[in-house]
């Protein structure tokens, strides 16, 4: 069987024992405490708050007249009460958890192993007892009042566990000559025999203001119980009769009840068939109980085909029939009670039960099931000089305090504000309103819905304003709101912009400050689209095309001010690693590229590269087997050869270089050869995408170049020995792809180097190709796996390897510093020192203006250059860096007379320049630009 019954949707409003009909004598009352969950509880202790009893029984065994036993939350064992109070000073048992709007949490009626006991409370041979606000269960009934008098059972939830519904038990049983027992304001549901049973010999008992529903027998049964009063109950949806007076229950009163939808003879409830009665009605008075019994002011609502009354064994369908035949029920009515909700069975406006009851009926309480007062509904006619609703619930004034506003909610001192209540008052109650301002000033009580007030002083915290609506009968409604009074200051609009997708930006103005409450942020994203209004200062916006836009944010506040600020943003390509994958090798049969010849390579739609939205591609281009000194130019299809160079080589050399180049309209790039013939190998490394649909990609973060690997001295934790085979390098924390300048020196034989993610097979593609004894370098962008490790593989012989980190690519959310998107440019030449016979001398530095020059905008943060050294007079190296302090790394390494080139991604210095440093001899420098980051 279940430990607990799920509570009904109806929730009783629980009150303290001081509000009950039988008060304690304040002069003599003391308190006892029970708390089974307290670490200090002791059943042989004093029962104080500091050392409470563990069980309710322990308190019941020592309680004296006038004492109140407060029981804390928990599941308690059954209680047998044998001690007594005195008239006016009862012994009171009350739950400490007196919750409004929540089920009772203090339960009685469980065995030590958590199952239901036969009873929750048994009162035997006692008098002057009050039991209130408990959740009670029992396999044989929750309450048994045996041979006792002046016992009140009030405001309890009286239920039965699942599986016990058909057991022949009553929720509350009055037995063995008990008298003057009151059963009031309880929810009684789910019992197999009846909700309340008033047994033989019980006299002058009162069952009032209870909700008795969903029992599998009658709601209330009194048998041979003279003087029984059943008043102001809602007895609904039980399986047999609603209220039944049997045997010789003479001199009884049945008034002000709502009784309906009972009677198993017509009910479709399957479990009701267990207790099917051959003849029943909503109110049943047996022949032996009619003497001196009064039935009046009830509202009956039988199921279709059922009887409303049975009087002396004769059934009547309606109240009119009943009155005509019996003379009883002058004020009876048979009608739909019109409940507001099936869960609570509270009355709806327009119910015939409203104000039609007898306020002087025996057992009538001053408050209803939820301890709400009796009130006069001005929309309903009163049945007598007074007013009372029939049933357990009194319809309360539907007055609603719908909203309480303060305007403005924030502003600089002195700040005049308006406090305004918005109400719904269908009864035209016209209450008074008390406004409090929270600044120490006196409250204002008025009949007006609004007041004005001026706050003279700023405060670090908000003032709490309040309104109390004073309704009749002491009923109030309450609401609060905050107003912030600030120190006068001008509004300051602040805007941050961050690219979070190839064409998507996140804008955030929440760091803006304003003494007034900011009411709206308006964003003009600078592309001609409509202004976007943001209530909280943030917005994500996706542009249709790459480009540079000015975002203007206008901040509006409660003082009528509009403050504007702007930020420029460039949205463009986000890098996606996609290799290495071989796209072209003319040695496979297509043949070398001849003098002045060209070949094209399809990039989009291959190896996972999208067919649309690709702005540029990153390739490793290798020239091998050339028959003459020459150079290769790589450029987008559909355009003219720009005359720039990407790979420079001498006859017989094998030279690689990393190339970043826009793709043509057909997704291709063109590779043109200047002189002689040469085989070309092209390996895909990655691509830049910029389409509105793309939500992923990596953005560049440049770093101060630093050395992360040098096998000559063991830098980077690698062995101090040339690489023969694969050397693993840890680059954890350098992004999802790392930009390295890799140099090979001291090669023992002709070979090639591959840099790839660790943990996957080494690809056949190459990053650097070199001859024995040659020093060469190339830029490499390599994906970094979760392990943070990459492989550096030398395929033949041995060679020393040096790697300098130049930057990293990562998802926007993983970058710790401002990241940038890539904007490709048509290749163009920015520098050629041969044009003016100004080579860079030994230990010399050449500054080159880049920002705002040619196609590079002034706001560019970094540029992609192909740098070539020509005519070196000595072995040396070239370092390319933002103007300022020079790093101790190199970008190109070369010997005397050797033409060497390499791609460089370099930040632009604060003066808009990049610098070129040459260590030894003199050398001419050529720089072609292929794009920028911004």
- CATH number of 479's domain: 2.60.40.10
Report yes or no on 146 lying in a domain. no
Percentage of the chain with pLDDT > 70? 92
β-partners of residue 423 are 401
Domain holding 630, by residue range, is 574-689
Q: What is the CATH number of the domain that holds 839?
A: 2.60.120
What mean pLDDT comes out for the span 414-433?
Answer: 94
Residue 182: CB atoms within 10 A of its CB come to: 23
Residues 178, 267: one domain?
A: yes
Q: Which of 370, 394, 418 is the last residue of a domain?
A: 394
- Exposed, middle or buried: residue 642 (CB in 10 Å: 0-12, 13-18, 19+)? middle
Q: Are residues 436 and 324 part of one domain?
A: no
The candidate with the shortest Cα–Cα distance to 20, out of 163, 186, 136, 171, is 186
SS3 273: helix
pLDDT, greater one: 183 or 907: 183
Question: Measured in whole angstroms, how far is the alpha carbon of residue 663 from the centre of its chain?
Answer: 44
pLDDT digits (tens, 9 = 90+) for 562-578: 999 999 988 887 888 88
Residues 99 and 203 in one domain: no
Same domain, 285 and 414: no
Confidence of residue 270 (pLDDT cuts 50, 70, 90): low
Band of the pLDDT at 343, cuts 50, 70, 90? Answer: confident
Q: Are 524 and 578 part of one and the same domain?
A: no
Compute the 3-state secondary structure of the chain and give helix, strand, coil in percent, each to the nearest 5: 5, 45, 50
Q: Looking at the structure, do residues 388 and 423 belong to the same domain, yes or no?
A: no
| Same domain as 317, residue 263 | yes
Taking phi over 0 as left and psi of -120 to 50 as alpha, with beta for the rest, 432 belongs to beta
Out of 556, 571, 586, pick the residue that ends a domain.
Answer: 571
pLDDT digits (tens, 9 = 90+) for 303-341: 877 889 999 999 999 999 999 999 999 999 999 999 998
d(CA 15, CA 315): 41
Q: What is the DSSP letter of 431?
A: -
Percent of the chain's residues with pLDDT above 90: 64
Q: What's the confidence (pLDDT) of residue 851?
A: 93
Q: CB–CB of 322/309 below 8 Å?
A: yes
Q: Is 126 domain-assigned? A: no
- For residue 165, what pLDDT is reported? 57
Is residue 566 included in any domain, yes or no?
yes
Asked whether the predicted pLDDT for residue 770 surpasses 60, the reply is yes
Q: What pLDDT does 419 receive?
A: 97
Mean pLDDT of 518-526: 94
Task: Indicate whether 13 pLDDT > 80.
Answer: no
Residue 642 CA to residue 678 CA, distance in Å, equals: 20
**C-alpha distance from residue 8 to each of 5, 106, 209, 345 (Å):** 9, 16, 17, 11
Residue 151 lies inside a defined structural domain of this protein: no
| Whether residue 312 sits in one domain with residue 171 | yes
- The answer to the question of residue 148 being in a domain is no
pTM: 0.64
User: pLDDT at position 14, please?
Assistant: 42
Alpha-carbon span 201 to 689, nearest angstrom: 92
Give whole-number Cα distances, 709 to 43, 356, 717, in Å: 76, 95, 8
pLDDT of amino acid 777: 86
343, part of any domain: yes
- Highest-confidence range of 16-25, 496-505, 854-863, by mean pLDDT? 854-863
Q: Are residues 430 and 329 in the same domain?
A: no
Q: Are residues 707 and 838 in the same domain?
A: no
| Residue at a domain's end among 641, 662, 689 | 689
Q: How many domains does the chain have?
A: 7
Shared domain for 519 and 580, answered yes or no, is no
**What is the pLDDT at residue 249?**
98
Instruction: Indicate whether 406 and 381 sit together in one domain.
Output: no
Following CA atoms 161, 167, 170, 175 in sequence, which dihedral angle do they give, to the nearest 10 degrees? Answer: -130
Whole-number Cα distances in Å, 206 to 132, 184, 418, 813: 16, 8, 53, 71
Please check whether residue 142 lies inside any domain of the structure: no
Is residue 259 within 8 Å of residue 280, measured between CB atoms?
no
Q: Are 345 and 339 in contact (CB under 8 A)?
A: yes
Q: pLDDT at residue 691 above 90? A: no
401 close to 475: Cβ distance less than 8 angstroms:
no
Q: Is residue 156 part of a domain?
A: no
């Amino acid at each position: 069987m279940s430990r607990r019954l799920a509570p009904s949707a109806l929730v009783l409003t629980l009150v303290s024992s001081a509000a009950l009909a039988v008060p304690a004598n304040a002069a003599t009352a003391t308190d006892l405490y029970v708390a089974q969950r307290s670490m200090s509880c002791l059943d042989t202790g004093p029962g104080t708050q500091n050392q409470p009893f563990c069980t309710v029984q322990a308190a019941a065994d020592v309680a004296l007249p006038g004492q109140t036993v407060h029981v804390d939350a928990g599941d308690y064992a059954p209680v047998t009460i044998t001690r007594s109070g005195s008239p006016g000073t009862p012994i009171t048992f009350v739950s400490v958890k007196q919750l409004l709007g929540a089920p009772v949490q203090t339960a009685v009626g469980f065995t030590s192993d958590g199952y239901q006991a036969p009873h929750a409370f048994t009162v035997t041979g006692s008098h002057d007892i009050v039991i209130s606000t408990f959740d009670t269960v029992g396999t044989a009934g929750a309450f048994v009042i045996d041979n006792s008098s002046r016992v009140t059972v009030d405001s309890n939830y009286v239920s039965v566990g699942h599986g016990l519904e058909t057991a022949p038990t009553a929720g509350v049983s009055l037995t063995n000559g008990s008298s003057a027992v009151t059963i009031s304001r309880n929810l009684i549901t789910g019992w197999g025999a009846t909700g309340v049973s008033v047994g033989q010999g019980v006299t002058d008992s009162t069952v009032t203001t209870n909700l008795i529903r969903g029992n599998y027998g009658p709601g209330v049964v009194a048998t041979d119980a003279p003087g029984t009063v059943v008043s102001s109950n809602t007895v609904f949806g039980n399986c047999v009769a609603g209220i039944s007076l049997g045997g010789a229950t003479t001199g009884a009163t049945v008034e002000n009840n709502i009784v309906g939808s009972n009677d198993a003879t017509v009910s479709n409830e399957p479990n009701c068939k267990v207790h099917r009665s051959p003849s029943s009605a909503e109110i049943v008075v047996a022949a032996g109980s009619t003497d001196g019994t009064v039935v009046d002011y009830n509202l009956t609502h039988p199921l279709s085909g059922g009887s409303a009354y049975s009087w002396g064994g004769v059934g009547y369908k309606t109240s009119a029939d009943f009155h005509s035949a019996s003379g009883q029920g002058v004020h009876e009515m048979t009608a739909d009670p019109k409940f507001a909700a099936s869960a609570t069975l509270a009355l709806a406006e327009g119910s015939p039960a409203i104000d039609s009851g007898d306020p002087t009926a025996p057992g009538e309480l001053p408050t209803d099931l939820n301890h709400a007062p009796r009130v006069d509904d001005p929309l309903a006619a009163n049945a007598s000089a007074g007013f009372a609703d029939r049933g357990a619930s009194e319809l309360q004034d539907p007055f609603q305090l719908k909203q309480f506003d303060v305007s403005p909610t924030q502003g600089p001192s002195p700040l005049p504000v308006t406090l305004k209540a918005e109400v719904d008052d269908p009864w035209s109650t016209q209450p008074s309103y008390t406004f409090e301002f929270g600044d120490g000033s006196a409250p204002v009580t008025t009949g007006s819905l609004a007041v004005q007030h001026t706050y003279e002083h700023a405060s670090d915290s908000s003032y709490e304003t309040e309104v109390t609506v004073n309704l009749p009968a002491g009923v109030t409604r309450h609401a609060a709101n905050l107003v912030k009074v600030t120190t006068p200051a001008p509004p300051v609009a602040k805007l941050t912009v961050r690219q979070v997708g190839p064409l998507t930006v996140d804008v955030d103005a929440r760091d803006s400050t304003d003494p007034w409450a900011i009411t709206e942020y308006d964003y003009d994203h600078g592309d001609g689209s409509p202004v976007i209004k943001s209530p909280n200062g943030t917005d994500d916006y996706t542009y249709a095309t790459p480009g540079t836009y000015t975002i203007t944010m206008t901040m509006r506040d409660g003082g009528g001010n509009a403050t504007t600020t702007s930020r420029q943003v460039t949205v463009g390509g986000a890098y996606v690693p996609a290799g290495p994958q071989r796209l072209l090798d003319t040695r496979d049969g297509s043949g070398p590229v001849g003098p002045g010849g060209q070949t094209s390579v399809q990039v989009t739609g291959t190896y996972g590269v999208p067919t649309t939205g690709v702005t540029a591609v990153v390739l490793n281009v290798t020239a091998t087997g050339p028959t003459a000194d020459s150079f290769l130019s790589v450029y987008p299809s559909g355009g003219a050869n720009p005359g720039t160079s990407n790979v420079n080589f001498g006859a017989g050399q094998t030279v690689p270089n990393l190339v970043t180049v826009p793709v043509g309209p057909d997704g291709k790039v063109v590779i043109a050869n200047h002189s002689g013939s040469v085989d070309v190998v092209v390996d895909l490394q990655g691509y830049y995408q910029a389409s509105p649909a793309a939500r992923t990609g990596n953005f560049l973060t440049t770093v101060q170049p630093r050395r992360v690997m040098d096998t000559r001295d063991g830098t980077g934790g690698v062995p101090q020995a040339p690489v023969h085979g694969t050397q693993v390098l840890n680059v954890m924390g350098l992004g999802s792809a790392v930009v390295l300048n890799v140099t090979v020196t001291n090669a023992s034989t002709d070979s090639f180097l591959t840099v790839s993610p660790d943990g996957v097979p080494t690809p056949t593609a190459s990053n650097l190709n070199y001859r024995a004894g040659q020093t060469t370098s190339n830029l490499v962008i390599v994906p970094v796996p979760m392990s943070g490790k990459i492989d550096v593989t030398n395929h033949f012989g041995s060679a020393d390897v040096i790697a300098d980190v130049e930057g990293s690519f990562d998802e926007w959310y993983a970058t710790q510093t401002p990241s940038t998107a890539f904007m490709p440019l048509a290749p163009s030449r920015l520098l050629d020192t041969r044009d003016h016979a100004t080579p860079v001398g030994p230990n010399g530095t050449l500054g080159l203006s880049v920002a705002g020059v040619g196609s590079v905008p002034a706001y560019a943060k970094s540029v992609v250059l192909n740098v070539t050294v020509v005519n070196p007079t000595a072995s040396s190296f070239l370092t390319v860096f933002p103007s300022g302090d020079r790093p101790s790394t190199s970008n190109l390494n070369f010997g005397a007379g050797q033409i060497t080139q390499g791609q460089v991604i370099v930040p632009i210095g604060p003066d808009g320049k990049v610098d070129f440093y040459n260590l030894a001899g003199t050398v001419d420098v050529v720089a072609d630009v292929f794009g920028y980051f911004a």
